[in-house]
Amino acid sequence: MNGVINVCKEPGVTSFYVVAQIRKIFKVKKAGHTGTLDPMAEGVLPVCLGHATKFAEFLTAEDKQYIAQFRLGIACDTFDTTGAVLRKSDLHPDESSVRAVLESFIGEPELTVSAFSAKKIDGLRAYDLARKGKLQDAGTAPMKIFKIELLSYNYPVGIFVIDCGKGVYVRSVINCMGDKLGSFAAMSGLMRSRNGQFHIKNARKLADIKQIADSGRKSELVTPVQDVLNLPKAVIKDKIYNAVMHGISPKAADYQSLPDAYDSGMCLLLTREGKLVAFGDIQKESPVPVKLSRVFQ
């Protein structure tokens, strides 16, 4: 089985655990998520099955939306309330100040990253190094933030929604907000409400997924990868199918249709029935419009 499942990860479990359960339920060897959610976090966790795992990097790059809860008055080593409290403050910022500081992050700010984050340091996850006492400072990282809206605030707790790009650490936004306010702050809850086209309203918990799968309706849970990716698509003619499956790149006359206005980049090859059979690189003004990179048997 190949495609993407919109899983609603529940708090208290790891993203790795979710993938392991999906692999077990669907009886597949290849499965992987498109971006880690911390154990305390919940929400949308797209899981790729089969050859869809080859496209995980494209799904990871999709824009995301989070709903985050924060607590003012404390600073923690993990930037969230699961960590050790390092500093405290009795300062009570008003709502307008909190809103102004949050909105100041819109753009591409350089924010401090927690040593307990999933950021890679010399090929290793920062949190693994931090837990071993080998890392205290994970440095900073540029983060692309499109929108932040404060939804509610009643000191010391507030909630905001954030629309952002790949690689944004919401804990970093909250920690830096606390520093700017002078009151400190830590993340106390997080929900990923959207990852690309996958929304929380359509996400299913593991128990529901297992129930549907056990009833013989697994296909209802899986979205074909070609319906998820925002990539150009080409449709091959039936007569060239066997050649493509042997890794031969079709000539222009072997296509039923080709994408328009693309000079370069990746292209998906589909059959007339919509089955994904291969992908490759677009070659402009070439007798071979797409040079195959990978064929799916």
Distances (CA, A) of 17 to 25, 35, 63, 64, 116: 12, 13, 24, 22, 19
Burial of 9 (0-12, 13-18, 19+ CB in 10 A): buried
Rounded to whole angstroms, the Cα distance separating 224 from 5 reads 9
Active-site annotation holder among 38, 80, 163, 254: 38
38 tagged catalytic: yes
The helix or strand, by DSSP H or E, that contains position 8, with its residue range, turns out to be strand 3-9
Q: At what angle do helices 170-181 and 95-103 cross, to 10 degrees?
A: 130
Cα distance between residue 189 and residue 152, in whole Å: 14
Asked if 23 and 5 count as a contact pair (C-beta separation under 8 A), the reply is: no
Q: 199 and 95 in contact (C-beta within 8 Å)?
A: no
- Own/partner contacts of 119-123, CB < 8 Å, gap of 24 or more, are 119/169
Backbone angles phi, psi at 102, to 5 degrees: -60, -45
What single DSSP character describes residue 62? S
* Distance in angstroms (rounded) separating the CA atoms of residues 101 and 53: 39
Structural contact between residues 60 and 46, judged by C-beta atoms closer than 8 angstroms = no
Task: Give residue for tokens 């797409």.
Answer: 290
Active site residues: 38
